[in-house]
Amino acid sequence: MAQTYGTCAALGVALIASAPVWAQETVITAHGISTFGELQLPADFSHLPYVNPEAPKGGEISIWAFGGFDSMNPYSVKGRAAGLSSAPYESILTGTADEIGAAYCLLCTTLEYPEDRAWVIFNLRPEVTFSDGTPLTAEDVMFTYETFLAKGLTDFRTVLATQVETVEVLDPHRIKFTFKEGVPYRDLPASMGGLPVISKAHYEANALDLEESTMTPMLGSGPYVPGRIDVGKSVAWVRNPDYWGADLPLNKGRSNFDTIRIEYYSDYDAAFEGFKAGNYTFRNEASSIKWATGFDFPEVANGQIIKAEIPDGSKASGQAFLFNLRREKFQDPRVREAIGLMFNYEWSNATLFYGLYARINSIWENTWLEATGTPTPAEAAILQPLVDEGLLPDTILTEEPVMAATSGERQLDRANLRRASALLDEAGWTVGSDGMRRNAAGQVLSVEMLNDSPSFDRIMNPYIENLKALGIDARLTRVDNAQMESRTRPPSYSFDMITGNARSSYISGSELKQFYGSDTADVSAFNIMGLKSPAVDRLIDVVMASESLDDLTVATHALDRVLRAERFWVPQWYKDAHTVAYYNMFEHPETLPPYALGELDFWWYNAEKAEALRAAGVLR
């Protein structure tokens, strides 16, 4: 529990002399910070409640990734960063997998902040070192902040520049962030504590550039450092035996593997065969057909490979077909609605997915933040001013939120085809003698679906067929992952529709401006749709200013309604379980946390079981 002190007790006489304005403030000194309410863990907690603090260290776990990589810089839109390339970097504060809205001191011992959170001081641990043994200081924190402000992702630094007034190094292990007046302070201490910290000396000595693709990793303080790298093919991360924080309560029972290896495959089927052959050892299965029919080989039957469904209580990913709203043809929401009507989820789930999935409807699917029913009076009070200003239709006040289209048992739902045809007729896209839809200028309505995953063809091709039945010139264009990156990142945005994610957080803040804000729509790596909505912008401000969990819930419900009404997506699906397969040499705590599987974090390696698998010739 956070403790409240007077200024003298919290900061000391010397600091009072240099900052007399604090004399009128109540300063909170704590081991962490919670957005709303109290922290679950006391200052003297011994370990996280969901880990095994006695878990053995050792061994290797290996996973697969799609495509390839040509960079070790995870903070640039240039190049494709290797998997887990942010693993070497720690932040001052860190969250847990069983608590929403909490951030605990990792690189710091305590943080200090006033009740209104208008500033924050982080008291850094003097024992923290980078992986080369050099000390991590407040100067490195300031350098990291300034580097991200100048060279971070454009959408990120655009938001960051509106939040922080000054950053001051008070001494080698104390740093203060003061926030700008007029911005919501609620999340800012945790946001600043969430920035990764890199070594200033290493960055400058190697002439690194945060904006550029590079195979020279920046230097961090985390438990893992780069190991063997085969560019584009595999990358390994090895546990640093001299990691400074191994004995912290936050870290007990974590970072248990000596090596985490990632093997890259350009084909989903080849990756599956690689798992069966023992080329990698842990697979989080994303293919429903593989899960239903592919695990009938002997190693599963005899228990040498474990196939398990583990409950997943986390928020759905927001996976969806996303429109590029920068395209003129998608400006009319009737066109987007019509295209959405032609995706038959029910048929896909029954025919292609073996009933494994549930439909996504909300940006906050599978959480209490999902809007349901007609707006409550509290939601209506938020929406009414936007209706009065003409930014929203008055139907938003009386209707239930937009739901994904439902379809019948046949691939082509005739009722939805008729509805979609009427919408396109209304929008001025009429059917010609050749069966193709054209506008008044004679332009054919065409939709290119960009795809870099061969395994997704079986899902997209029926959708393409349905769109063609509607009179749309629809086509599937296969690209490699490098082309996908270049065509969907700023400034290109060279696509019609892709599969992506409508992102969200449990307790949303300024990241919403990156995901959905107008100011970042043409520079964002997250607002891929290019959404620009004055109503959404206003509601983001309301969410950010919420001062209680109840207020935040109401504001998020209102925002969810408006985002769904924008129809920038055709929602896909999610499942409430992790479908995993792994060689029977990994173990995990009996009770896993609700918001993380944790296979690379707090699972561990059983050396005796691994040796038995090798003796049986199962492992390479």
Query: Does the pLDDT at position 454 exceed 90?
Result: no
* Stretch among 14-18, 20-24, 392-396 having the lowest mean pLDDT: 14-18
Domain residue extents for the chain? 1-28, 319-572
Residue 378 near residue 548 (C-beta atoms within 8 A)? no
Residue 16 binned pLDDT confidence (cut-offs 50, 70, 90): very low
Q: So what's the pLDDT on residue 564?
A: 98
What does the DSSP 8-state code read for residue 129?
Answer: B
* Angstrom distance (rounded) from CA 286 to CA 296: 17
Percentage of the chain modeled with pLDDT above 70: 96
Mean of the per-residue pLDDT values for the chain?
94
Give the HSE-up count for residue 103: Cα atoms under 13 Å, Cβ half-sphere: 23
Angle between helices 534-545 and 377-388 (to 10 degrees): 140
Residue 573 near residue 353 (C-beta atoms within 8 A)? yes
Provide the pairing of β-strand 174-179 with 164-171: antiparallel
Angle between helices 333-341 and 414-426 (to 10 degrees): 170
Query: Does the pLDDT at position 4 exceed 70?
Result: no
Mean pLDDT within 353-360: 94
Residue 331 binned pLDDT confidence (cut-offs 50, 70, 90): very high
Give the pLDDT confidence of 51-73 residue by residue, as tens digits. 999 999 999 999 999 999 999 99
- C-alpha angle with apex 282: 280 to 285, nearest 5 degrees? 115
Q: So what's the pLDDT on residue 24?
A: 65
Helices (H), 333-490: 333-341, 345-351, 377-388, 414-426, 457-469, 481-488
283 forms beta bridges with: 581
Give the pLDDT confidence of 268-311 residue by residue, as tens digits. 899 999 999 999 999 999 889 999 999 999 999 999 999 999 99
Q: So what's the pLDDT on residue 196?
A: 97
* Angstrom distance (rounded) from CA 192 to CA 163: 10
Q: Which of 126, 132, 148 is nearest to 197 (CA)?
A: 148
Q: So what's the pLDDT on residue 267?
A: 87
- The SS3 call for residue 198 is coil
Q: So what's the pLDDT on residue 158?
A: 86
Per residue in 130-162, is it b (16+ CB within 10 Å) or e — as a string? bbeeebbbbebbbbbbebbeeebbbbbbbbbee
Six token digits for residue 17? 């002399």
* Angstrom distance (rounded) from CA 472 to CA 447: 7
Q: Which CATH class is domain 319-572?
A: alpha beta
Residues counted in the chain: 620
Q: So what's the pLDDT on residue 2?
A: 40
Which has more confidence, 126 or 1? 126
Query: Does the pLDDT at position 335 exceed 80?
Result: yes
